[in-house]
Amino acid sequence: MPWYGSHSYLNEFIRINNCRKIMEIGVYNGENAKRMVLTAIENSPPHKVEYYGFDFFSYYTVERVGRKLDETGCKYKLIEGNTLKTLPEATKILPKMDIIFIDGGKSSREAMNDWEYSEKLMHDKTSVFVHNVDFSGVSRAVDSISRQNYTVEIFYSPSEGTVALIKKKMIPQQKHQN
């Protein structure tokens, strides 16, 4: 089962939807972060593009990843530590995102936590992509997502396995009866 990939679906989504606010849970070496930002600045001035990344940043440090993002001219914040701790705090102050990529811890506790806090940063048109749904912990988290409030589309990418795409369901306003 592939673990990494180039996630071309993310860049396609960013390009088509003119995304400017991008969040990634699980940054690793920052290459995917840079690719997403470079795609966003095809449509927007670099200083209008914001990237928020969460990771332990233990080997690929904040400084190393930061240097890659500096080259793009975007605004960014790299939030260091376990998302079980960092997300509850960060989501109190972060803006709503246009796209969120969940690709951090693969246990159900981590994946559920990452979804729970990503949900708080969704506006009506935000798309959340969850990587590695083939992992049992991630699959359990995706199964727990309310189908009443969200559409959950599962797709398979040959180079990198199963991915979930989550969007808010638009609930039509009820008509008042006279």
Ligand X SMILES: C[S@@+](CC[C@H](N)C(=O)[O-])C[C@H]1O[C@@H](n2cnc3c(N)ncnc32)[C@H](O)[C@@H]1O
Contact between 53 and ligand X per CB under 6 A? no
Over the window 94 to 123, marking each residue x when it contacts ligand X by CB under 6 A and - when it does not, the resulting string is ---------xxx----x-------------
Among 43, 46, 64, 45, which Cα is nearest to 55's? 64
Site for ligand X in 20-39 (CB under 6 A): 24, 26-28, 31-32
State how far the Cα of 128 lies from the Cα of 76, in Å rounded to an integer: 19
- Give the count of residues interacting with ligand X (CB under 6 A): 18
State how far the Cα of 150 lies from the Cα of 47, in Å rounded to an integer: 32
Binding part of the chain for ligand X, among 14-22, 50-58, 61-69, 161-169 by CB under 6 A, reads 50-58
Chain centroid offset of residue 48 CA: 18
Q: Toward ligand X, which CB reaches closer, 50 or 110?
A: 110
Contact between 56 and ligand X per CB under 6 A? yes
State how far the Cα of 91 lies from the Cα of 93, in Å rounded to an integer: 5
Closest approach, Cβ 45 to ligand X, in A, equals 25
Which strand ranges, in their side-by-side order, compose the sheet holding 75-80?
75-80, 50-55, 21-25, 97-102, 122-130, 161-168, 150-157
Binding part of the chain for ligand X, among 39-47, 66-74, 79-87, 119-127 by CB under 6 A, reads 79-87
- Which tokens hold the place of 127? 């798309």
- Identified binder of ligand X from the candidate list 13, 51, 52, 54, rule CB under 6 A: 54
Sites of contact with ligand X (CB under 6 A): 4, 7, 24, 26-28, 31-32, 54-56, 82-84, 103-105, 110
